[in-house]
Amino acid sequence: MKPEQYVYPFEEGNMSMKSLLGGKGAGLAEMASIGLPVPPGFTVTTEACNMYLKEHKNLWSELKEEILENLSLLEEKTGKRFGEKPPLLISVRSGAVISMPGMMDTILNLGLNPTTVEYLADQAGDRRFALDCYRRFIQMFADVVLKVGSHHFENVLTAARKEKKVHSDAELEETDLEKIAERFLKIVRKETGSDFPLDPQEQLFLAVEAVFKSWNTDRAVVYRQANRIPDNLGTAVNVQAMVYGNLGNDSGTGVAFTRNPSTGEPLIYGEYLLNAQGEDVVAGIRTPRDLSDLDKDMPEVYKQFLEACQKLEKHYLDMQDIEFTIEQGKLYMLQTRTGKRTAAAAVRVAVDMVREGLIDRPRALQRIEPDQLDQLLHWRIDPDVKKNVITKGLPASPGAASGKVVFDADRAQEMAQEGEKILLVRPETTPDDIHGIIAAQGILTSRGGMTSHAAVVARGMGKPCVSGCEDLRIDLSKGRFYVKGEEYQEGIILSIDGGTGQVILGDVPLIEPQFSDEFHQLLGWADDFKKLKVRANADNPEDARRAVELGAQGIGLCRTEHMFMAADRVPLVQKMILASNLEERERALADLLPLQQGDFKGIFKEMAGLPVTIRLLDPPLHEFLPDREELLVEVDRLQREGGDAKLLQEKENLLQKVNSLTEFNPMLGHRGCRLGLVYPEIYRMQVRAIFLAVFELLEEGIPAADLQPEIMIPLVGHREEMELMKKLVDDTAEEIFKEKNQKITYLAGTMIELPRACMVADQLAEIASFFSFGTNDLTQTTLGYSRDDAEGKFLPFYLQKKILRANPFAEIDRDGVGQLVEMAIAKGRQSRPGLKVGVCGEHGGDPASIKFFHDTGLDYVSCSPFRLPIARLAAARVAL
Amino acid sequence: MKPEQYVYPFEEGNMSMKSLLGGKGAGLAEMASIGLPVPPGFTVTTEACNMYLKEHKNLWSELKEEILENLSLLEEKTGKRFGEKPPLLISVRSGAVISMPGMMDTILNLGLNPTTVEYLADQAGDRRFALDCYRRFIQMFADVVLKVGSHHFENVLTAARKEKKVHSDAELEETDLEKIAERFLKIVRKETGSDFPLDPQEQLFLAVEAVFKSWNTDRAVVYRQANRIPDNLGTAVNVQAMVYGNLGNDSGTGVAFTRNPSTGEPLIYGEYLLNAQGEDVVAGIRTPRDLSDLDKDMPEVYKQFLEACQKLEKHYLDMQDIEFTIEQGKLYMLQTRTGKRTAAAAVRVAVDMVREGLIDRPRALQRIEPDQLDQLLHWRIDPDVKKNVITKGLPASPGAASGKVVFDADRAQEMAQEGEKILLVRPETTPDDIHGIIAAQGILTSRGGMTSHAAVVARGMGKPCVSGCEDLRIDLSKGRFYVKGEEYQEGIILSIDGGTGQVILGDVPLIEPQFSDEFHQLLGWADDFKKLKVRANADNPEDARRAVELGAQGIGLCRTEHMFMAADRVPLVQKMILASNLEERERALADLLPLQQGDFKGIFKEMAGLPVTIRLLDPPLHEFLPDREELLVEVDRLQREGGDAKLLQEKENLLQKVNSLTEFNPMLGHRGCRLGLVYPEIYRMQVRAIFLAVFELLEEGIPAADLQPEIMIPLVGHREEMELMKKLVDDTAEEIFKEKNQKITYLAGTMIELPRACMVADQLAEIASFFSFGTNDLTQTTLGYSRDDAEGKFLPFYLQKKILRANPFAEIDRDGVGQLVEMAIAKGRQSRPGLKVGVCGEHGGDPASIKFFHDTGLDYVSCSPFRLPIARLAAARVAL
Give the pLDDT of residue A176: 93
Lowest-pLDDT range of A718-722, B452-456, B818-822: B452-456
Q: Is the pLDDT of residue B57 over 90?
A: no
- The one-letter code for the residue type at A189 is R
* Nearest-by-CA chain A residue for B805: A720
Give the pLDDT of residue A450: 75
Give the pLDDT of residue A1: 53
For residue range B270-319, list pLDDT tens digits in order: 999 998 877 776 666 678 889 999 999 999 999 999 999 999 999 999 99
Residues of A in Cβ contact (< 8 Å) with B633: 632-633, 636
Question: Do the chains contact at A668 and B668, CB–CB below 8 Å?
Answer: yes
Question: Do the chains contact at A669 and B756, CB–CB below 8 Å?
Answer: no
Q: CA A271, CA A280: separation in Å to the nearest integer? A: 11
ipTM over cut 0.90? no
Give the model's confidence band at B103: pLDDT under 50 very low, under 70 low, under 90 confident, else very high: confident
Give the pLDDT of residue B1: 53
Give the pLDDT of residue B282: 63
Residues of B in Cβ contact (< 8 Å) with A815: 756, 759-760, 763
Say how many Å lie between the first and final Cα of chain A, rounded.
Answer: 37
Give the model's confidence band at B102: pLDDT under 50 very low, under 70 low, under 90 confident, else very high: low
Most A CBs within 10 A among B718, B724, B766, B813, hence the mutation to make, goes to: B718
Residues of A in Cβ contact (< 8 Å) with B816: 717, 755-756, 759-760
* Nearest-by-CA chain B residue for A793: B670
pTM over 0.80: yes
The H or E element spanning position B468 is none
Most B CBs within 10 A among A452, A674, A827, hence the mutation to make, goes to: A674
Task: Using alpha carbons, list the distances in angstroms from residue B566 to A827, B428, B432, B569.
Answer: 49, 17, 8, 5
Q: What is the mean pLDDT of chain B?
A: 92
Q: How close does chain B come to A828, measured CA to CA in Å? A: 15
For residue range A617-639, list pLDDT tens digits in order: 999 998 888 888 888 888 888 88
Residues of B in Cβ contact (< 8 Å) with A717: 783-784, 816
* Nearest-by-CA chain B residue for A720: B803
Question: Do the chains contact at A784 and B777, CB–CB below 8 Å?
Answer: yes
Cβ count within 10 A of residue A205: 18
Contact present, A686 and A616 (Cβ < 8 Å): yes
Question: Do the chains contact at A632 and B633, CB–CB below 8 Å?
Answer: yes
Task: Using alpha carbons, list the distances in angstroms from residue B485 to B390, B466, B472, B473, B474.
Answer: 11, 20, 9, 9, 12
> What does residue B644 show for φ and ψ, rounded to 5 degrees?
-65, 100
For residue range B204-238, list pLDDT tens digits in order: 999 999 999 999 888 888 888 777 788 889 999 99
Give the model's confidence band at B703: pLDDT under 50 very low, under 70 low, under 90 confident, else very high: very high
Work out whether strand B106-110 and strand B235-241 pair parallel, antiparallel, or are unpaired.
unpaired
Give the pLDDT of residue A629: 81
Question: Do the chains contact at A777 and B784, CB–CB below 8 Å?
Answer: yes
Give the pLDDT of residue A397: 86
Q: Is the pLDDT of residue A282 over 70?
A: no
For range B63-85, the mean pLDDT: 95
Q: CA B629, CA A628: separation in Å to the nearest integer? A: 9
Residues 6+ apart with CB under 8 A from B459: B396, B397, B465, B864
Lowest-pLDDT range of A357-366, B169-178, B181-190, B456-465: B456-465
For range A269-284, the mean pLDDT: 79
Q: Is the sign of the CA dihedral A394, A396, A401, A407 positive or negative? A: negative
Q: CA A766, CA A768: separation in Å to the nearest integer? A: 6
Cβ count within 10 A of residue B188: 22
Give the pLDDT of residue A681: 97
> How buried is residue B52: exposed, middle or buried, by Cβ count under 10 Å (0-12/13-18/19+)?
buried
Give the model's confidence band at A15: pLDDT under 50 very low, under 70 low, under 90 confident, else very high: confident
Residues of A in Cβ contact (< 8 Å) with B760: 815-816
Give the pLDDT of residue B285: 64
Residues 6+ apart with CB under 8 A from B273: B245, B252, B253, B254, B280, B281, B286, B288, B289
Residues of A marked active site are found at 453, 840
Contact present, A270 and A254 (Cβ < 8 Å): yes
DSSP letter assigned to residue A515 = -
Question: Do the chains contact at A820 and B759, CB–CB below 8 Å?
Answer: yes
Q: B283: closest CA among B373, B168, B198? A: B168
Largest CA distance in chain B: 105
Give the pLDDT of residue B458: 84
Q: Is the pLDDT of residue A848 over 90?
A: yes
Q: Is the pLDDT of residue B462 over 70?
A: yes
Residues of A in Cβ contact (< 8 Å) with B665: 664-668, 786, 788-789
Most A CBs within 10 A among B718, B756, B813, hence the mutation to make, goes to: B756
Q: Is the pLDDT of residue B376 over 90?
A: no
The alpha-helical segments, DSSP class H, found in B427-550 are: 434-439, 453-461, 517-529, 541-549
Residues of B in Cβ contact (< 8 Å) with A636: 633, 636-637
Most A CBs within 10 A among B659, B668, B763, hence the mutation to make, goes to: B668
Q: How close does chain B come to A633, measured CA to CA in Å? A: 5
Lowest-pLDDT range of A831-835, A850-854, B168-172, B571-575: B168-172
Residues of B in Cβ contact (< 8 Å) with A756: 782-784, 813, 815-817
* Nearest-by-CA chain A residue for B448: A664
Nearest CB neighbour to B788, from listed A664, A793, A815:
A664
Q: Is the pLDDT of residue A568 over 80?
A: no
* Nearest-by-CA chain B residue for A758: B816
| Residue/partner pairs of A482-488 with CB below 8 Å, 24 or more apart | A483/A390, A483/A391, A484/A390, A484/A391, A486/A390, A488/A405
- Among B840, B843, B854, B863, the active-site one is B840
| Residue/partner pairs of B80-86 with CB below 8 Å, 24 or more apart | B80/B241, B82/B111, B82/B200, B82/B201, B82/B204, B83/B111, B83/B113, B83/B115, B83/B116, B83/B199, B83/B200, B83/B201, B84/B116, B84/B119, B85/B119, B85/B122, B85/B123, B86/B119, B86/B123
* Nearest-by-CA chain A residue for B802: A720
Most A CBs within 10 A among B789, B791, B798, B807, hence the mutation to make, goes to: B789
**Helix, strand, coil fractions of chain B, as percent rounded to 5:** 50, 15, 30
Give the model's confidence band at B535: pLDDT under 50 very low, under 70 low, under 90 confident, else very high: very high
- In three-state secondary structure terms, A751 is strand
Contact present, B36 and B311 (Cβ < 8 Å): yes
**Percentage of the residues of chain B whose pLDDT score is greater than 90:** 69
Q: How close does chain B come to A636, measured CA to CA in Å? A: 7
Residues of B in Cβ contact (< 8 Å) with A713: none
A583 beta partners: none
For range A729-747, the mean pLDDT: 97
Q: Is the pLDDT of residue B42 over 70?
A: yes
Question: Do the chains contact at A470 and B819, CB–CB below 8 Å?
Answer: no
Q: How close does chain A come to B350, measured CA to CA in Å? A: 40
**Ranges A15-19, B279-283, B433-437, most confident:** A15-19
Residues of B in Cβ contact (< 8 Å) with A447: 659
For range A745-773, the mean pLDDT: 98
Give the model's confidence band at A46: pLDDT under 50 very low, under 70 low, under 90 confident, else very high: very high
- Among B378, B453, B562, B854, the active-site one is B453
Nearest CB neighbour to A633, from listed B632, B753, B785:
B632
* Nearest-by-CA chain B residue for A785: B668
Give the pLDDT of residue B541: 93
- Return the number of CB contacts < 8 Å for A and B: 192
Q: A481: closest CA among A439, A423, A401? A: A423
Question: Do the chains contact at B449 and A637, CB–CB below 8 Å?
Answer: no
Q: Is the pLDDT of residue B58 over 70?
A: yes
Give the pLDDT of residue A2: 62
Q: CA B590, CA A378: separation in Å to the nearest integer? A: 52
Nearest CB neighbour to B715, from listed A755, A784, A804:
A784
Reduced 3-state DSSP string for B574-619: HHHHHCCCHHHHHHHHHHHHHHHHHHHHHHHHHCCCCEEEEECCCC
Q: What is the number of alpha carbons within 13 Å of residue B244 lying toward its C-beta?
A: 19
* Nearest-by-CA chain A residue for B786: A668
Question: Do the chains contact at A816 and B669, CB–CB below 8 Å?
Answer: no
For range A820-841, the mean pLDDT: 97
**Percentage of the residues of chain A whose pLDDT score is greater than 90:** 69
Nearest CB neighbour to A789, from listed B449, B665, B788:
B665
**Ranges A333-347, B244-258, B266-280, B775-789, most confident:** B775-789
Question: Do the chains contact at A788 and B665, CB–CB below 8 Å?
Answer: yes
Q: Is the pLDDT of residue B492 over 70?
A: yes
Contact present, A39 and A243 (Cβ < 8 Å): yes
| Residue/partner pairs of A820-824 with CB below 8 Å, 24 or more apart | A820/A755, A820/A758, A820/A778, A820/A782, A820/B755, A820/B759, A821/A752, A821/A758, A821/A773, A821/A775, A821/A778, A821/A856, A822/A856, A823/A758, A823/A759, A823/A761, A824/A752, A824/A757, A824/A758, A824/A761, A824/A771, A824/A773
Q: Is the pLDDT of residue B835 over 60?
A: yes
Residues of A in Cβ contact (< 8 Å) with B660: 470
Residues 6+ apart with CB under 8 A from A646: none
Q: Is the pLDDT of residue A372 over 90?
A: no
Q: Is the pLDDT of residue A461 over 80?
A: no
Give the model's confidence band at A800: pLDDT under 50 very low, under 70 low, under 90 confident, else very high: confident
For range A463-476, the mean pLDDT: 90
Nearest CB neighbour to A664, from listed B636, B666, B798:
B666
Q: How close does chain A come to B565, measured CA to CA in Å? A: 20
